[in-house]
């Protein structure tokens, strides 16, 4: 039986990102992916939000995506546009980039890092014991792994086989989504009921068109048909605009469910396998990629025996609340999008509220992931928050914080006098960087914060400690997070 340190079930956005993170840490990882190629059926995610672009920037690969998509103010809440151009980040925008383009670019990176992908193969079961997991594959073969991560999407076999509860709300509404050719020019734009019609090629306009239509019924048996699409178009627009053909037709609902636990022994869940919710706000792919970045370095350290298994519990502790918040805000967005007059009145008031700076900043920071704050206890406001991408001056010349994170290793950034801390016990895994930064430290929502003399940055870009190098908490934080 072939052995690997980590087997990832599912090579979608989450599985690919996790594989990249593990490979950067030198972990022997393999992806098992049901699809024969990286092709994505249908449209799915339409882009990246600010924090995801930052996370990719932390690995030095943001430019690959930025050059393939279109930077824009894409953030919105229930169709209410939220401009983040005044946010303190280099990426104060979103990126319009279809998932079908996102995945191959990410897969290329994973390929460069040497991760094998077993394509056209499925995980069909597993059994875990004290030392590892036997992972059963289609075709009557199996793999042995120390850990198995289910990145296998909303219908996750791994989650079900692990017996992890998927609690939440059943769907209340169903939408049809399709890419179509029409003989007539349709009315382009969002509809009050949450759907709308728009050109697939957002730069050039024209057909084919993407349509999203609220359906009359929630329950359906079988795949959506052309007739159902035509019917839904006529119901909403009074015409089918000479609907000629559909490149694909799909359906989604507002089901909102979350795994009760992101870990069961040697089995972990990430991405849609751990949380499903309506696509409002475009947070699904983004949350999965960020789950992967939170989990990757922790799992690597546990596999390397740098850290005890209990480090993996911080993955659930940190990411479950983030996922719960996404479910919560998408439920609110769906409710706000109800097409009746009372909800329209509520939406008008929300629109007015969100035109004010403070509410806009709060909600936009939540949706973009820029305000994520892991509860690491009391201390400097940076603790548990994302490290800003400061411009730095080092002995080797100018650099910036995110560049220091490209190899996914922790960094102790000293902005005071060099010396003053003995990094020797951690020297093989934590990089001490002496640097200078001239300028203010500004965080999303919080605004300006006092500049700490030093800061310990985790590989996911979150701050594990901030203070003076003489602080007795520093060795404790280093030991807690990095063994």
Ligand X SMILES: Cc1cc2nc3c(=O)[nH]c(=O)nc-3n(C[C@H](O)[C@H](O)[C@H](O)COP(=O)(O)OP(=O)(O)OC[C@H]3O[C@@H](n4cnc5c(N)ncnc54)[C@H](O)[C@@H]3O)c2cc1C
Q: Which of residues 278-337 bind ligand X (CB under 6 A)?
A: 279, 282-286, 288
**By CB under 6 A, is residue 157 in contact with ligand X?**
yes
**By CB under 6 A, is residue 104 in contact with ligand X?**
no
Are 45 and 99 within 8 A, CB to CB?
yes
Spatial neighbors of 436 by CB under 8 A, at least 6 apart, are 392, 393, 394, 415
- What DSSP state is assigned to residue 368? H
**By CB under 6 A, is residue 5 in contact with ligand X?**
no
**By CB under 6 A, is residue 11 in contact with ligand X?**
yes
**3-class SS of residue 159:** helix
The least distance separating ligand X from the CB of residue 256, rounded to whole angstroms, comes to 13
Nearest partner of 54 among 469, 347, 386, 449, judged by Cα: 386
**By CB under 6 A, is residue 122 in contact with ligand X?**
yes
List strand residue ranges (DSSP E) for 78-157, in order. 80-81, 94-96, 117-119, 123-128, 133-137, 141-150
Residue 201 CB neighbours (<10 A): 12
Taking CB under 6 A as the criterion, the residue among 5, 7, 9, 19 binding ligand X is 9
Q: Which of residues 432-461 bind ligand X (CB under 6 A)?
A: none
- What DSSP state is assigned to residue 450? P
Tokens of 429: 């895994």
Judged by CB under 6 A, the stretch of 28-36, 82-90, 165-173, 328-336 that binds ligand X is: 28-36
Nearer to ligand X, 9 or 390 (CB): 9
Nearest partner of 3 among 147, 139, 138, judged by Cα: 147
The least distance separating ligand X from the CB of residue 1, rounded to whole angstroms, comes to 18
Taking CB under 6 A as the criterion, the residue among 28, 35, 108, 380 binding ligand X is 35
- What DSSP state is assigned to residue 439? S
The least distance separating ligand X from the CB of residue 341, rounded to whole angstroms, comes to 28
Tokens of 86: 């005044």
Nearer to ligand X, 153 or 461 (CB): 153
The least distance separating ligand X from the CB of residue 135, rounded to whole angstroms, comes to 10
**By CB under 6 A, is residue 33 in contact with ligand X?**
yes
Judged by CB under 6 A, the stretch of 8-16, 80-88, 377-385, 422-430 that binds ligand X is: 8-16
The least distance separating ligand X from the CB of residue 132, rounded to whole angstroms, comes to 18
The least distance separating ligand X from the CB of residue 99, rounded to whole angstroms, comes to 6
- For residue 188, with 0-12 CB atoms within 10 Å meaning exposed, 13-18 middle and 19 or more buried, which class applies? exposed
Taking CB under 6 A as the criterion, the residue among 15, 195, 224, 459 binding ligand X is 15
**By CB under 6 A, is residue 215 in contact with ligand X?**
no
Nearer to ligand X, 106 or 300 (CB): 106
Nearer to ligand X, 89 or 286 (CB): 286
Judged by CB under 6 A, the stretch of 10-18, 254-262, 311-319, 388-396 that binds ligand X is: 10-18
Taking CB under 6 A as the criterion, the residue among 12, 195, 369, 410 binding ligand X is 12
**By CB under 6 A, is residue 10 in contact with ligand X?**
yes
Nearer to ligand X, 58 or 286 (CB): 286
- For residue 123, with 0-12 CB atoms within 10 Å meaning exposed, 13-18 middle and 19 or more buried, which class applies? buried
Q: Which of residues 38-67 bind ligand X (CB under 6 A)?
A: 44-46
The least distance separating ligand X from the CB of residue 96, rounded to whole angstroms, comes to 10
> Residues in contact with ligand X, total (CB under 6 A)?
32
The least distance separating ligand X from the CB of residue 123, rounded to whole angstroms, comes to 4
**By CB under 6 A, is residue 94 in contact with ligand X?**
no
**Which parts of 337-472 fold into alpha helices (H)?**
341-353, 357-368, 401-404
Dihedral pair phi/psi, residue 207, rounded to 5°: -80, 170
Are 406 and 58 within 8 A, CB to CB?
yes
Nearest partner of 404 among 433, 425, 443, 442, judged by Cα: 433
Judged by CB under 6 A, the stretch of 9-17, 55-63, 235-243, 400-408 that binds ligand X is: 9-17
Nearer to ligand X, 14 or 92 (CB): 14
Q: Which of residues 253-272 bind ligand X (CB under 6 A)?
A: 271-272
* Rg of the chain taking only CA atoms, in angstroms: 23
Q: Are strands 94-96 and 80-81 parallel, antiparallel or unpaired?
A: unpaired
Are 384 and 458 within 8 A, CB to CB?
no
**By CB under 6 A, is residue 99 in contact with ligand X?**
yes
State the Cα angle at 326 between 324 and 328, rounded to 5°.
70
Nearer to ligand X, 25 or 176 (CB): 176
State the Cα angle at 460 between 304 and 293, rounded to 5°.
75
**3-class SS of residue 387:** coil
**By CB under 6 A, is residue 20 in contact with ligand X?**
no
**By CB under 6 A, is residue 13 in contact with ligand X?**
yes
Judged by CB under 6 A, the stretch of 7-15, 90-98, 375-383, 459-467 that binds ligand X is: 7-15
Query: How far apart are the C-alpha atoms of 180 and 243, rounded to whole Å?
Result: 7
Query: How far apart are the C-alpha atoms of 154 and 166, rounded to whole Å?
Result: 10
- Applying CB under 6 A, which residues contact ligand X? 9-15, 32-35, 44-46, 99, 122-123, 151-153, 157, 177, 252, 271-272, 279, 282-286, 288
């Amino acid at each position: 039986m072939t052995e690997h340190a980590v087997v990832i079930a599912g090579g979608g956005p989450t599985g690919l990102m996790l594989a990249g993170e593990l490979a950067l840490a030198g972990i022997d990882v393999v992806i098992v992916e049901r699809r024969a190629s990286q092709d994505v059926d249908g449209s799915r995610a339409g882009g990246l939000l600010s924090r995801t672009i930052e996370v990719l920037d932390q690995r030095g690969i943001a430019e690959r995506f930025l050059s393939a998509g279109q930077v824009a103010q894409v953030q919105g809440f229930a169709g209410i546009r939220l401009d983040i151009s005044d946010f303190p980040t280099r990426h104060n925008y979103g990126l319009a980039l279809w998932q079908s383009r996102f995945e191959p670019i990410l897969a290329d990176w994973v390929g460069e890092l040497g991760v094998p992908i077993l394509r056209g193969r499925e995980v069909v079961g597993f059994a875990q014991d004290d030392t590892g997991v036997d992972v059963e594959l289609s075709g009557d073969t199996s793999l042995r792994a120390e850990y198995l991560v289910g990145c296998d999407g909303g219908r996750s076999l791994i989650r079900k086989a692990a017996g992890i509860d998927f609690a939440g709300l059943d769907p209340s509404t169903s939408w049809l989504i399709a890419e179509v050719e029409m003989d007539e020019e349709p009315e382009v734009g969002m509809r009050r009921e949450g759907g709308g019609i728009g050109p697939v090629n957002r730069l050039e306009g024209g057909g084919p068109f993407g349509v999203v239509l609220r359906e009359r019924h929630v329950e359906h048996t079988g795949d959506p048909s052309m007739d159902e699409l035509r019917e839904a178009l006529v119901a909403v627009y009074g015409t089918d605009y000479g609907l000629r053909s559909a490149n694909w037709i799909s359906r989604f609902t507002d089901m909102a469910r979350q795994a009760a636990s992101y870990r069961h022994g040697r089995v972990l869940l990430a991405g849609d396998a751990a949380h499903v919710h309506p696509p409002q706000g475009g947070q699904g792919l983004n949350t999965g990629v960020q789950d992967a970045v939170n989990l990757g370095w922790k799992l690597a350290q546990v596999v390397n025996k740098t850290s005890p298994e209990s480090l993996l519990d911080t993955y659930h502790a940190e990411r479950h609340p983030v996922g719960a918040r996404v479910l919560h805000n998408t439920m609110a967005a769906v409710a706000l999008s109800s097409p009746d007059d009372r909800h329209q009145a509520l939406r008008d008031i929300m629109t007015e509220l969100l035109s004010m700076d403070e509410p806009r900043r709060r909600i936009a920071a939540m949706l973009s992931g820029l305000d994520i704050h892991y509860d690491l206890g009391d201390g400097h406001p940076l603790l548990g928050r994302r490290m800003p991408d400061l411009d730095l001056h080092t002995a080797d010349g100018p650099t910036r914080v995110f560049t220091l994170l490209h190899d996914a290793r922790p960094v102790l950034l000293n902005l005071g006098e060099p010396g003053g801390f003995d990094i020797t016990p951690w020297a093989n895994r934590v990089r001490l960087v002496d640097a200078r930064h001239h300028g203010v430290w500004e965080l999303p929502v919080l605004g300006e914060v006092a500049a700490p003399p030093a800061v310990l940055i985790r590989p996911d870009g979150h701050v594990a400690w901030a203070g003076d190098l003489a602080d007795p908490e520093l060795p404790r934080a280093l030991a807690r997070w990095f063994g």
